[in-house]
Amino acid sequence: MITLSGIIGSGKSSLTEILAKELGTKAYYEPVKDNPVLPIFYKGNEIAAKKRAEGDKEATNPYAYLLQTFFLNRRFAMIKKAMQDDNNILDRSIYEDEIFMRMNTEMGNATQVEYDIYKSLLHNMMEELPLASHKKSPDLMITIKVSYETMIKRIEKRGRDYELIEKDPSLVDYYQRLLKHYDIWMKEYDASPLLIIDGDKYDFMESKEDRVQVLETVENKLLELGNISEEQFEHLRKKHQAFLN
């Protein structure tokens, strides 16, 4: 099982799709389009930021805890289902889930009580995970690391109004904080082998050469970990040459 991680707009869903096709396996995607909380969460952030700027230091986003428990519930169900089989790819990790709730608490969008309850719930779920499947953790965690500039460019390209800094200037601080939290998370993550892909250097959606480079980086890691055989590795390399030609 491969799990993708990375900040908003880093290209997780795109790389998940590419890898699933490459390796002939099933992809599991983070719920966004059918998420009723996400748009109102962003609006709640905007309202809370304005209230704090006006002097209301206690203003929080009433939807922060709701959003994170929504995601946690969906992700837990998704990872349980994926772990029932041997070959799957998930476009978001439950292991990075706490980043968002911690940051929202630091920013004042959630209360410490909400954060403590969330952490307790997450801890209980993670304890149940090995019992709900035959795996304890992913075989490989892939993180796509991008700069603020690349992140904003990709967010603008996909065009979700509630994610655009032009629509909500408070997102500038939110996104920059999130990047810092991901840098810390990458250094601390130890649940499985971690592979970091440079999303600024490799445009795996637009460039065939970059796509092949990323695929070969991933497959070299899978070979090193014993998740694919030498024969499979060579077969994939031949596919890459045909793709480039």
DSSP secondary structure letter of residue 62: T
Does 199 appear as a known binding residue? no
Does 154 appear as a known binding residue? yes
Does 216 appear as a known binding residue? no
Does 160 appear as a known binding residue? no
Does 30 appear as a known binding residue? yes
Cα first-last separation, the chain? 30
Does 9 appear as a known binding residue? yes
Is 91 among the catalytic positions?
yes
Does 177 appear as a known binding residue? no
- Show Cβ contacts of residue 7 under 8 Å, excluding neighbours closer than 6 positions: 146, 151, 175, 178, 179, 182
Does 14 appear as a known binding residue? yes
Does 74 appear as a known binding residue? no
Rounded Cα distance between 24 and 27, Å, is 10
Q: Which of 34, 56, 85, 91 is catalytic?
A: 91
Does 12 appear as a known binding residue? yes
Record the tokens describing residue 100, joined without a space.
């968002």
Rounded Cα distance between 144 and 200, Å, is 9
Does 10 appear as a known binding residue? yes
Does 97 appear as a known binding residue? yes
**Where on the phi/psi map is residue 74: left (φ > 0), alpha (ψ -120 to 50), or beta?**
alpha
Record the tokens describing residue 153, joined without a space.
């460019």
Secondary structure in 3-state letters for 175-222:
HHHHHHHHHHHHHHCCCCCEEEEECCCCCCCCCHHHHHHHHHHHHHHH
- Give the ranges where the chain is alpha helix by DSSP (H): 12-23, 38-53, 64-82, 97-107, 112-132, 148-158, 171-188, 208-225, 230-244
- Binding residue ranges: 6-14, 30, 42, 68, 92, 97, 154-158, 163
- Binding residue ranges for substrate: 30, 42, 68, 92, 97, 163
Catalytic residues: 91
- Binding residue ranges for ATP: 6-14, 154-158
